[in-house]
């Protein structure tokens, strides 16, 4: 029997035998602005998978700006629309990816496409990932239209466990009008983490009503639907996530294998789709001199499979990678970035304090090759996350499904 999350290449609506096809399916729209990296599209895809797997009469449509969205498979009753891409520069500014349009023109085009999609798809539930107003406010017109023309549609703001340093986040949300938008448009906030671990909205001036409608879900559990790589050749998985800002981490790992010619275990390095060009070519040249102790992959949309087969993980501290480390219970060493946000550092430091993993932080531990050599050598004997018992840690998808069913039922009652 096929797993309910397995992709249906034709995205066809199928109804189990003996069931009447309903006159109308519940419709969930997920907005994922995706200007950089893989985090938002992977999180939205995971949530859409769970929602539709739990109810054969629900469909989901993901609006995403991810340039690699088409390289993922989507399950039955889940589809996606790619918004024109933008690129985040190192100074935090943005530019149009391919269209030769300035950023204001590109944002206006994206905003129009979002609104048109909502008008035609007519969602019963909208789940917005991380940005209450969307990229550069592109979501505001659609939120206003929903409130006026589809008042029964429920709107949820989904936030990862950590956003940024509280003082910096307060300034960012104030600049974007995010607090006002959250108060005006959103029925609930879902935080994909645990309040006992970290509260990402603690420093925001949200009303008591909004706080009362905030739900901590737990982390979003991941599953491997494919056969794991055989462990006859033990390896640690090296992943900088999307790879766009992972060059320093990759350099640190390769330096360790170069300095210690007997360093074990061997490694499988997944660059990610955004570590390309001259940097990657330089890394490949270095790998070629390591006598097969480090193997490389450019991009693999089935990271769950690679994670399952690994005996340990060295990674940056992104949300999705953290969820995978917890889900597959892998001993892990995290090298978090601190620019342009402190998100990864805050998450890694808190997880280390709890005993879930080990962190290497340049300012505390240095970045000498010996630091990485010691971490890699000890990784197979390091405690896995399950050594720490935290109730509800991986209940995220279960709570999301529960809240989705509740909100869809409320929307249906109001429309009757």
Do residues 123 and 27 touch, judged by C-beta distance below 8 A?
yes
* Spatial separation of the C-alpha atoms in residues 103 and 414, rounded to whole Å: 39
Rg over CA atoms, the chain: 22
Do residues 129 and 43 touch, judged by C-beta distance below 8 A?
yes
Q: Where are the alpha helices (DSSP H) in 37-161?
A: 39-54, 103-121, 140-149
Q: Report residue 165 CA to chain centroid gap.
A: 19
Helix (H, G, I), strand (E, B) or coil at 157: strand
Contacts 24+ apart (CB under 8 A), 362-367: 367/248, 367/252
Question: What pTM did the predictor assign?
Answer: 0.90
Diameter over CA atoms, the chain: 70
* Spatial separation of the C-alpha atoms in residues 202 and 399, rounded to whole Å: 21
- Encoding tokens for residue 390? 């935290």
Say what the pLDDT of residue 133 is: 98
> Residue 118's closest CA among 30, 198, 183?
30
Say what the pLDDT of residue 23 is: 54
- Encoding tokens for residue 371? 């630091």
Say what the pLDDT of residue 340 is: 85
Mean pLDDT, consecutive 10-residue segments, the chain of 416 residues?
Answer: 35 46 81 72 92 96 83 86 80 74 91 98 97 96 98 97 96 97 98 97 96 98 70 86 84 98 96 87 97 90 86 94 96 93 95 98 94 97 97 98 96 64
> Residue 48's closest CA among 87, 75, 67, 19?
75
Do residues 252 and 372 touch, judged by C-beta distance below 8 A?
yes
Say what the pLDDT of residue 304 is: 86
* Spatial separation of the C-alpha atoms in residues 13 and 275, rounded to whole Å: 37
- Encoding tokens for residue 215? 């739900």
């Amino acid at each position: 029997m096929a797993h309910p999350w397995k992709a249906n290449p034709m995205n066809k609506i199928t109804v189990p035998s003996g069931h009447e096809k309903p006159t109308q399916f519940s419709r969930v729209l997920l907005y994922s602005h995706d200007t950089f990296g893989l985090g938002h599209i992977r999180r939205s895809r995971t949530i859409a998978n769970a929602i539709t797997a739990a109810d054969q009469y629900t469909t989901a449509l993901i609006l995403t700006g991810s340039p690699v969205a088409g390289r993922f498979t989507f399950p039955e009753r889940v589809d996606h629309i790619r918004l024109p891409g933008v690129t985040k520069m190192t100074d935090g500014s943005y530019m149009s990816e391919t269209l030769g349009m300035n950023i204001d023109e590109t944002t206006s085009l994206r905003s129009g496409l979002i609104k048109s999609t909502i008008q035609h798809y007519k969602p019963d539930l909208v789940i917005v990932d991380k940005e209450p107003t969307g990229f550069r406010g592109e979501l505001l017109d659609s939120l206003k239209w929903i409130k006026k023309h589809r008042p029964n549609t429920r709107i949820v703001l989904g936030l990862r466990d950590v956003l940024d340093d509280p003082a910096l986040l307060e300034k960012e949300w104030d600049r974007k009008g995010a607090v006002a938008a959250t108060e005006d448009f959103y029925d609930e906030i879902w935080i994909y983490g645990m309040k006992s671990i970290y509260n990402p909205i603690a420093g925001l001036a949200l009303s008591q009503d909004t706080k009362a409608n905030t739900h901590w879900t737990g982390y979003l559990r991941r599953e491997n639907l494919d056969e794991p790589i055989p462990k006859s050749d033990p390896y640690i998985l090296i992943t900088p996530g999307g790879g766009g800002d992972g060059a320093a981490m990759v350099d640190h790992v390769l330096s360790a294998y170069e300095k210690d010619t007997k360093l074990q275990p061997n490694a499988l390095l997944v660059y990610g789709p955004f570590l390309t060009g001259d940097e990657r070519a330089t890394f490949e040249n270095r790998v070629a001199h390591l006598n097969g102790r480090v193997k490389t992959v450019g991009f693999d949309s089935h990271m769950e499979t690679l994670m399952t087969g690994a005996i340990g993980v060295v990674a940056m501290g992104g949300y999705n990678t953290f969820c995978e480390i917890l889900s597959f219970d892998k001993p892990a060493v995290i090298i978090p970035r601190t620019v342009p946000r402190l998100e990864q550092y805050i998450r890694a430091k808190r997880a280390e304090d709890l005993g879930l993993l080990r962190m290497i932080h340049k300012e505390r531990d240095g970045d000498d090759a010996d630091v990485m050599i010691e971490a890699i050598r000890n990784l197979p004997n390091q405690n896995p996350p399950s050594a720490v018992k935290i109730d509800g840690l991986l209940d995220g998808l279960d709570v999301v499904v529960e809240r989705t069913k509740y909100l869809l039922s409320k929307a249906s009652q109001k429309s009757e």
